[in-house]
Structure 1
Amino acid sequence: MSLKKIILMFTLIFLTILSGCSKNDESNPVAPKTKEPAKLQLKEITVPTHLTQVQDQHAQMVSSYIQMANGLTNYAAFFTPPSGAKHLPKGYSTEDEWTWTEDNLTVTLVYNEGESNISWKVILTGLYEGFTATNWTFMEAEQSKDGNSGHLTIYEPVTTTVAVDWEWNNNSNGNASFIFTDFESFMKMQIDVNSDNSGMLQVFQSSDNQFILQYKISWTATGSGEWWEYDATGNITDHGTWT
């Protein structure tokens, strides 16, 4: 399942959940407030404005990949249960759980808060993408309590096969590193962004079960940049700059 399909599917499911939230709020406007899980903190990647306006195809490639990566931040909302979801506190189960049903799909959010890390898991039961799911883990995430590092994993429909994986790490200097892997497309990209908005994008393609560097693109804090293209053996085949 491609990333575009995954994001579209998420949007449809999430809109359904929002619709259910509105109905629950109307029928029970004074429902007692229960414990809520911590929110998954997915940082949005920003780049210099000039980079997004340059006509150079490699600068446009950076903008396109980062826009795609930022689309994953929408998934953070899925780890927050809607109003009216049933809460089974830790003690009744091994972890906190919230469950709600929309149409033919039952969603269970499993939440665990440890000393240094927090984890979430979204489990689906019912009709999904034409498949019948039974306690199937749709996606899961884990992050440090300070939100500076973590990962998000999404699975292929009704399987344990990883579709995409997203890792992030923010250091004390304000620099951040993001690694996105699309296992269906055999593609991986690493985005490193510095505190001054300069950064680097590296795109890898899989070959013989190894990820081989295909593009490397760097940019300055003002949005000018430099790029390299590589062949399957790691040799530079093209190089250029933009201002």
Structure 2
Amino acid sequence: MNIKDLQKFLVLFCLALVAVSCGDKDDPEPSLEEVELAVFSEENKVFIPEGLKNASDSEAQAVSAMIESMTSNIGAYSSLFTIPDGATKLASPIEAVNGRMYTNMVTYEWSYQGGSIAYQITEQDNAYFFEIFFKETGGPYYKWFEGTQAKDGKSGSFAMLDIEAASRVEVFTYEYEIRNDGSIYGEYNYPSFGYSFVFEVLADGSGYIESYENDLLQVEYMWSANGSGSWTYYDESGNVSSSGTWTAG
């Protein structure tokens, strides 16, 4: 092979490598402004059977109330995670008095109820990190909410913080995981009250909830896809104190 043939071969070889690398490259990541916190999406909402919602039994109604309370508490603040028209893009990230600071962020700021809101999004290796800050006019920023979501959309979290506290104090937290079988598993906590519950809802609508107080199991609810179910209460020693069933409504 002469020099010209060798040069031609090397050029073609390099072009082939470029073509392969471009063909294997994943779709480009969306801009941070386009990323939305998935915990607010319809796909990630927790749905229970109509037969459970319509059941007349007080224990079945308690299950509906727990799920409704969780989804409404989270969904009530979804509008804060949308950048409004007229928001100002800041050149520097927000470092809150009660928060942590990262790099590689996009931060927007706008007026809100006599003060200012800042919305900050960070791209991490396998996830996005969302933060909402609030400050009164002339005061420092305090972190109010934060959320995470995996880039594959399979898990995430949401937390509300006490903006009147100088250090980090969580009002409530929520973590969820969407599993390969279509089920959703979640943990919802009120740390200051010592109250929490864990749940799993399968793809067919059946599921369970376990309610805890100061890490002690208080009551467990289980229901089928048609909405009928059962409940079990436990005493401080972990023994069953009462139980029963309900029929779908």
TM range (shorter): 0.7 to 0.9
Higher strand share: 1
Identity %: 24
Who is 1:48 aligned against? 49
Who is 2:84 aligned against? 82
1:73-222 equivalences in 2 (<5 Å): 73-88=75-90, 94-126=104-136, 134-159=140-165, 160-206=168-214, 211-222=215-226
Contact 1:44 1:73 in 2 (8 A): no
Evaluate the alpha carbon distance shift between residue 55 and residue 105 of structure 1 in structure 2; reply closer, same or farther with a 3 A threshold: same
State the TM-score, normalized to the length of structure 2. Answer: 0.76
Deviation at 1:134, TM superposition (A): 1.7
Q: Deviations over 1:118-142 (max 9, x none)?
A: 0111111106xxxx95210011111
Who is 1:38 aligned against? 35
Evaluate the alpha carbon distance shift between residue 141 and residue 135 of structure 1 in structure 2; reply closer, same or farther with a 3 A threshold: same
Deviation at 1:89, TM superposition (A): 6.2
Who is 1:236 aligned against? 240
Structure 2: which amino acid aligns with 1:102?
Y
State the TM-score, normalized to the length of structure 1. Answer: 0.77
Look up the SS of the partner of 1:163 in the other structure.
strand
Give ranges in structure 2 of 5+ residues lacking alignment: 1-30, 94-102
Deviation at 1:115, TM superposition (A): 3.2
1:22-33 equivalences in 2 (<5 Å): none
Give ranges in structure 1 of 5+ residues lacking alignment: 1-33
Q: Distance in 2 between matches of 1:125 and 1:94?
A: 22
Q: Distance in 1 between matches of 2:105 and 2:227?
A: 46
- Relative contact order (alpha carbons < 8 A, sep ≥ 6): 1 or 2 greater? 2
Deviation at 1:147, TM superposition (A): 2.1
Q: Distance in 2 between matches of 1:167 and 1:103?
A: 29
Who is 1:11 aligned against? none
Who is 2:7 aligned against? none
Deviation at 1:191, TM superposition (A): 1.5
RMSD: 2.0
Contact 1:37 1:111 in 2 (8 A): no
Evaluate the alpha carbon distance shift between residue 75 and residue 89 of structure 1 in structure 2; reply closer, same or farther with a 3 A threshold: same
Evaluate the alpha carbon distance shift between residue 218 and residue 87 of structure 1 in structure 2; reply closer, same or farther with a 3 A threshold: same
Look up the SS of the partner of 1:157 in the other structure.
coil
Look up the SS of the partner of 1:184 in the other structure.
helix
Q: Distance in 2 between matches of 1:89 and 1:197?
A: 46
* Larger CA deviation: 80-89 vs 57-66: 80-89
Deviation at 1:90, TM superposition (A): 7.9
Deviation at 1:76, TM superposition (A): 3.2
Q: What is the count of residue pairs matched by the alignment?
A: 201
Who is 1:25 aligned against? none
Evaluate the alpha carbon distance shift between residue 107 and residue 58 of structure 1 in structure 2; reply closer, same or farther with a 3 A threshold: same
Contact 2:156 2:175 in 1 (8 A): yes
Deviation at 1:94, TM superposition (A): 4.2
